[in-house]
Structure 1
Amino acid sequence: MAMLEVNCLEKIYKTRLGGNQVQALWDVSFSVEQGEYLAIMGESGSGKTTLLNILAALDRPTSGSVLLDGCDITDLPEKEISKFRRDHLGFVFQDFNLLDTFSLRDNIYLPMVLAGKKPEEMKAKAEPLAKRLGIEDVLDKFPYEVSGGQKQRAAVTRALMMDPELLLADEPTGALDSKATDELLQVFSELHTAGQTILMVTHSTKAASHASRVLFIKDGEVFHQLYRGNSTNEEMYQKIANTLTLLTTGGDENE
């Protein structure tokens, strides 16, 4: 059984006066296996951000279901959603979402603070993760005192503090320079090798080329998908680039 099952998702937005409708997603279905590293790509307005928001339980679909380990998150009562996110999902954002008035350490501790964990438990969890991600020497600095790459690795550390079943990443390399991008993608590859399930939304062909599968969204529908198989990152990059050309020019993915 797949860890994540997305079944027949549709999302329709209505204008304030209800006169017009915009359908952001059309009958989107796919699954994600335990330990898989999935990248989702598509042009701006394709529906990929709407899809991510639904997977993150930040928005609800008009119809369809999202099952994480058999639990339909689209049916969760509002009072349970925040706890569900904290206990089961990890989030990495393009703009880091770190609190500038908190040190990196305190930012990283935040999910466990909200979960009522003890300080010694937080420290025991955070320090090995910080060392693994190469930020153990900057934990007591504030976000404005460190580089973008260090901020993003702190955000990844925070996302892993509650041992999430699913790590969701929204354009995680979008605000990074090339060196920091390479370092973060290496971190993601190591997490994937260690068994972490990752779902990443990205515009970056380079970032997507590190995934084990790439799902392409066009006009709110699944357009195509690529599996890594035995392909190298360079070969995967070229396959993705070719598919993006078809997606933007209106070609047939089967050509």
Structure 2
Amino acid sequence: MPLLEVQHVQKIYTTRFGGTQVQALSNVSFSVEEGEYVAIMGESGSGKTTLLNILAALDRPTAGEVLLEGRPLSAIRERDLAAFRRSHLGFVFQDFNLLDTFSLQDNIYLPLVLAGTDYREMQQKLRPIADQLGISDILAKYPYEVSGGQKQRAAVARALITDPQLILADEPTGALDSRSSDALLELFGELNGTGQTILMVTHSVKAASHAGRVLFLRDGQVYHQLYRGGESQEAQFRRISDTLTVLAGGGEPHA
């Protein structure tokens, strides 16, 4: 059974006075196996952000269903959604979403604090993650005292500390310089190598070329996908670039 199943998801937004309807997603279906690393790409307006919000249980689809380990998200009561997200999902955002009044350590602890986890258990969970991410020596610092790359590593630590089934990353390299981007993508590859399932929305061809599979959205649906297979990162980069060029021109991509 796939870890994540997206079944014929549609999303229609109605304007404030109900006069106009905008179809953000028309018919999105795909699945993600446990341990996969999947990138989602598409032009602005293709539905990427809407889809990510639905997968994160931050929004509900108009029609269709999303299942995590066979459990439909629609069956989760509204009051239980925050706890569900903390327990099952990890989030990495473009703008880090760190609280400047909290140290990096306290930012990382936050989902565990909200879940009522014992402090000693939090310390035990953080130690190996901080060592792996190379941030053990800056945990007492505040977000405004560290670099963008270090902020993003703290954000990744916060995503990992709940041992999530799925990491959802929204343009994770978008606010980073090239060196920090490379380091983060290498880190994602290492995490995926340990079995962590990752789904990443990105505009970056370079970021997407690190994933094992790339889904392309157009007009609110999955229009094409590329498996990396045994291809090198450079070869996958070229394939993704070629596919985006064809899709932008309205043509049909090659398999």
What TM-score results when the alignment is normalised by the length of structure 1?
0.99
Match of 2:226 in 1: 226
One-letter amino acid of the structure 2 residue matched with residue 127 of structure 1: R
Would you say 1:76 and 2:76 are equivalent positions? Answer: yes
The separation in 2 between residues aligned to 1:156 and 1:29, in whole angstroms, is 27
Shift of 1:254: 3.4
* RMSD of Structure 2 on Structure 1 (CA): 0.8
Q: Counterparts of 1:115 and 1:75 in 2: how far apart (Å)?
A: 21
Partner of 1:170: 170
Alpha-carbon offset, residue 17 of structure 1: 1.2
Task: Indicate conservation of the 8 Å contact 2:243/2:254, yes or no.
Answer: no
**SS, match of residue 203 in structure 2:** coil
The separation in 2 between residues aligned to 1:106 and 1:221, in whole angstroms, is: 39
User: Where in structure 1 are there 5+ consecutive unaligned residues?
Assistant: none
Q: Deviations over 1:81-115 (max 9, x none)?
A: 00000000000000000000000000011111111
CA–CA distance in structure 2, aligned partners of residues 131 and 150 of structure 1: 13
Counterpart residue number, 2:56: 56
2:160 maps to which residue?
Answer: 160
Instruction: Name the CA distance, whole Å, in 1 between partners of 2:185 and 2:84.
Output: 27
Distance 2:47 2:13 in 1: 12
After TM superposition, which residue ranges in structure 1, 4 or more long, deviate above 3 angstroms?
none
Q: How does 1:131-146 map to 2 (within 5 A)?
A: 131-146=131-146
Q: Distance in 2 between matches of 1:112 and 1:254?
A: 46
Letter aligned with residue 233 of structure 1: Q
Q: Map Cα deviations across residues 96-145 of structure 1 (whole Å, 9 max, x no partner).
A: 00000000000011111111111111111111101100111100000000
In the alignment, residue 30 of structure 2 is paired with which amino acid?
F
Secondary structure of the residue aligned to 2:253 is coil
C-alpha offsets along residues 187-238 of structure 1, whole Å, 9 cap, x if unaligned?
1000000000000000000000000000000110111000011001101100
Aligned equivalents of 2:117 and 2:84: distance in 1?
A: 16
Give the equivalent residue in structure 1 for 2:86: 86
Number of aligned positions between the proteins: 255
- Residue of structure 1 equivalent to 2:194: 194
Partner secondary structure for residue 223 of structure 1: strand
Gaps of 5+ in 2: none
CA distance in 1, matches of 2:211, 2:133: 19
Output the CA distance in 1 between the equivalents of 2:28 and 2:75. 18
* CA distance in 1 between partners of 2:143 and 2:40 (Å): 28
2:4–2:67 contact (8 Å) kept in structure 1: yes
The Cα offsets for residues 33-52 of structure 1, whole Å up to 9 and x where unpaired, read as 00000000001110010000
In 2, Cα distance between the equivalents of 1:92 and 1:74? 23
1:130-165 per-position Cα deviation (integer Å, ceiling 9, x unaligned): 110011110000000000000000000000011000
1:20 matched to 2:13? The reply is no
**Which amino acid is the alignment partner of residue 2 of structure 1?**
P
